[in-house]
Chain A
Amino acid sequence: MNLHLVGVNHKSAPVEVRERLAIPEWKLEEATRRLLEYTGIRECVVFSTCNRVEFVVSTEGGVALDGFIGEYLQTDVSQIRDHIYEYRGDEVVRHVFRVAASLDSMIVGEPQILGQVKQAYNIGKAVGSVQSNLDALLSRALSVAKRVRTETAIGSSAVSVASVAVELAKKIFGSLQGRNVYLVGAGKMSELAARHLRSHGADTIFVSNRTHERAQQMAESVSGSAIHFDRLYETADQADIVITSTGAPHAIFRREHGEMFMHRRKNRPMFFIDIAVPRDVDAAMSQVDGIFVYDIDDLQQVVEANVSDRGREAERAELLIEEEVVRFRRRIQSLDAVPTIVALQNRVEQIRQAEVERLRAKLGNLSPEQQSAIDNLTRSIVNKIVHPSISALKSVSGSEQLIATAELLRNLFGIEDESVRRNGTSSVGKRDKNPASGENKQSSSEDNRESEVTQKATSRR
């Protein structure tokens, strides 16, 4: 299997380049199908979001994806060469894991990318472009993403204005159960924040707007109740959280209103979220005891601080990804029956030789004929014993079953993982008739050398 990835993302390319390569959602399926038909490609998947366009393929030999990009997207690749990155082998695994775990996202830890990876995966399965290799890669990527999410705090802090509003409200009120929300002005953002608060337990939502019809519409959509704008000051003290987003040129809530509210509320705290520009809540309001005012800039700052917190968590996630890349490599190698067979044969041969060696001292001087007779006898015994296992392994179909059988055999015969890995890599390298690139050749010959060293070490033992 040769994995190969070509793509651009928000870091490598400006939007002008990304939009030239971008494939709209409705065309993803067609693009995947076309890529699959391209010469040399056995499996493929296409990611295209507003921050990235990536083509992941599994090939038998090498393939020039530039050709496909040039043909399908009618773009001269040489012009944007500097913006394109290319990965092979393990690098592809690492990159796909990082993308799915949202480590490569513009906002690290944002959850949408996982859905987009899933979508590409499903399209690939439907089209038939995702089979054993990419299936293993993508399904692993999804579970790695899940692991990163549960084992690091990468997605835990709020990084949108609406979720920051909820986070702040919780710092003040603890539980939002039974709290009332007042929307002053009927904007999209305040609606979003209100929905978010509601989903965290907030109780009644009041909506007030200069044009009452708009308030009624909004109240309906958030299942709240609309209140006439001229009753705003009489009713606002019933709310624990007030979200303002009117287009008024002057502040609607001033200090004296705040003092009045606090008096009526017996000083129970009140939280103003002001997302209007110009601001709807006067700055002096926050001097009133028990009133907390956060304007759009404050919320934005919290968002930014949380984003940098995520950066720290991302470092932990990177370590986790490294671990998963190694694990995946091993797993992929066990997908190939050959290394397990080789390891199995090596293992029994090793035992046979050791036992013969031990016996030799007892038997005294043997003639060469006698010696070869012993060798032949023992060899044929061990071969007969392992033969059914090997043919069973060869006859297994389906990747999951193959892995299970190979693992079972390795356990039964006490074959260490390490030897399989080393032997596996080298045998894959040997079997590669047509290595995709110089880089690949080099790595497989390196692995050969490595396995030689291992063999020497074993024989010395």
Chain B
Amino acid sequence: MSLFWLRVAVGLYGLSLVYAFVALLRKREILSRATLPITVVAVTLHFVALVEAFASGSMATMPLHQSESLLAFLMMLLFIGVYYLYRTTSPGIVVLPIAFLLSLSAALAQGAPQFASPLLRSGWIYTHIVLILTGYAALFFSFIASVLYLLHERRLKRKDLNGLAGKLPALDTIDNIGYKLLLIGFPFMTFGLIAGSVIAEAQYGSRYFLDPKVILSLLMWGVYMVMLYTRWNSGWRGRRAALLAAFAFAAALSVWAANYFSGMHRFVSR
């Protein structure tokens, strides 16, 4: 049943996505007022779907798709949070398509169990997943913010004030969003990694640290820390911050992709 609500949510995401692009083309505020309620409803349904998935145990049988769904959910949650704090929907042009695609992929998943691992029955693993994915979502959001910052900065420097730059929030606001999310995401990421390490250590021993996904994760965490440090210490913004964020994002992407070739995260019972 969890797929039903998820599919409805995906439909609604798609709808608000269409709205967002129409609004973009019409040179109005990026998301029209009607889009936001749709998004909120979609996120609520999405939450219902996740709870159902958790209760029915399909979280354990289809971890990859469920984590896609969870990641999309967390990103949308951040998107709504950012809207309520800053009254801006600009990140939506990036967040909406990605959340849509992620949850679409989850919604189209077939019911057949792909993985079965006793590991996934333990509650610890869920803590690990939720923490890590929240970290991902925040990092990704922050990356979007730094790209928007860069775009806005370029526009202002080129003295081109029409088009997109006219609709983006002030440079300082974008900067604030990016930095706050970076700060929020870091503890999640850190504790998520710690939780994962504890589980893996108990399960696999030191062999665990040679897993490509684990190495990439640590690399990503390192970049994350460098980003926070440069920002905090010398206030890196704009081009340099965007480059770092892009790097961290690329690392995060490869960590995600590593699911497909990491022995550890395949969770196949051996």
Residues of A within 8 A of B (CB): 168, 170-175, 265-269, 286, 289-290, 292, 294, 298, 301-302, 305
Of the listed stretches B111-119, B199-207, B233-241, chain A binds B233-241
Residues B237 and A289 in contact, CB atoms below 8 Å apart: yes
Residue numbers in A under 8 Å from B239 (CB-CB): 289
A302 touches B161 (CB 8 A): yes
8 A-B pairs with least C-beta separation: A174-B170, A266-B235, A267-B235, A174-B173, A174-B172, A172-B171, A173-B172, A298-B159
Number of interface residues of B (CB under 8 A): 20
What's the nearest-Cβ distance from chain A to residue B150, in Å? 10
Give the residues in chain B near A301, CB-CB below 8 Å: 159
A25 to B157, CA, bound (A): 44
A173 and B153 alpha carbons, distance in the complex (Å)? 12
Across the interface, which residues of A come within 8 angstroms of B172, CB to CB?
Answer: 172-174, 269
* Residue B97 at the chain A interface, CB threshold 8 Å: no
State the CA gap A424–B238 with chains docked (Å). 68
Which residues of the partner chain A approach B11 to less than 8 Å between Cβ atoms? none
Q: Is the beta-carbon distance between B237 and A269 smaller than 8 angstroms?
A: yes
Establish whether residues A170 and B170, one from each chain, have CB atoms under 8 Å apart when the complex forms. Answer: yes
Which B residue's beta carbon lies closest to that of A240? Answer: B172
- Taking A171-B161, A269-B237 as known contacts, 7 extra A-B pairs with beta carbons closer than 8 A to each other, sorted by chain A number, are A168-B156, A171-B165, A171-B170, A171-B171, A173-B172, A174-B170, A289-B238
Name A271's closest neighbour in chain B (CB-CB): B156
Whole-angstrom CA separation of A269 from B153 in the bound complex: 10
Cβ contact of B157, chosen from A292, A302, A305, cutoff 8 A: A292
Bound together, the chains give a CA A298 to CA B239 distance in angstroms of 23
Q: Does B169 contact A (CB under 8 A)?
A: yes
Kindly state whether residue B269 has any CB partner on chain A within 8 Å.
Answer: no
Asked whether B162 is an interface residue with its Cβ less than 8 Å from the other chain, the reply is: yes
Are A267's CB and B234's CB within 8 A? yes
Q: How far is the CA of A130 from the CA of B150 in the complex (A)?
A: 59
23 chain-A/chain-B pairs, Cβ below 8 angstroms: A170-B170, A171-B165, A172-B156, A172-B171, A172-B172, A174-B173, A175-B170, A266-B233, A266-B235, A267-B234, A267-B235, A267-B237, A269-B172, A286-B157, A289-B237, A289-B240, A290-B237, A292-B156, A294-B159, A298-B159, A302-B159, A302-B161, A305-B161
Complex: how many Å from CA A289 to CA B165?
A: 18
In the assembled complex, how far is the CB of residue B154 from the closest CB belonging to chain A, in whole angstroms?
11
Q: How far is the CA of A294 from the CA of B160 in the complex (A)?
A: 12
Q: Complex formed: what's the CA distance from A292 to B157 in Å? A: 6
Q: What are the residues of chain A within 8 A of B169 when measuring CB–CB?
A: 174
List which B194-250 residues lie within 8 A (CB) of chain A. Answer: 233-240
Interface string of B133-161 (1 = CB under 8 A from A): 00000000000000000000100110101
Q: Roughly how many angstroms separate A174 CA and B170 CA in the complex, as a whole number?
A: 5
Nearest Cβ in chain B — how far from A269, in angstroms? 6
Rounded to whole Å, the gap between the CB of B87 and the closest CB of chain A is 11
Closest Cβ–Cβ distance, residue A218 to chain B (whole Å)? 28
Taking the nearest CB of chain A, how far is it from the CB of B173, in angstroms? 5
Q: How far is the CA of A175 from the CA of B162 in the complex (A)?
A: 20
A346 to B159, CA, bound (A): 67
Report the Cα distance A174→B209, complex, angstroms: 46
Q: Once the chains bind, are B170 and A173 in contact (CB under 8 Å)? A: yes
For B241, give the chain A residue with the smallest CB separation.
A267
Closest CB in chain B relative to A156 CB, distance in Å: 12
Expressed in whole angstroms, the minimum distance between the Cβ of B156 and any Cβ of chain A is 5
Nearest A residue to B171 via CB reads: A172
Cα separation A175 to B169 with both chains bound (whole Å): 11
Task: Report Cα–Cα, A268/B231, bound state, in Å.
Answer: 11
Which residue of chain A lies nearest to B158 when distances are taken between CB atoms in the complex?
A286
**Set of chain B residues within 8 Å of A294, measured between Cβ atoms:** 159
Is B236 in contact with A173, judged by CB distance below 8 angstroms?
no
Who on chain A is nearest to B162 by CB? A305
* A173–B234 CA distance with the chains assembled, in angstroms: 19
Across-interface contacts of B170 in A (CB, < 8 A): 170-175
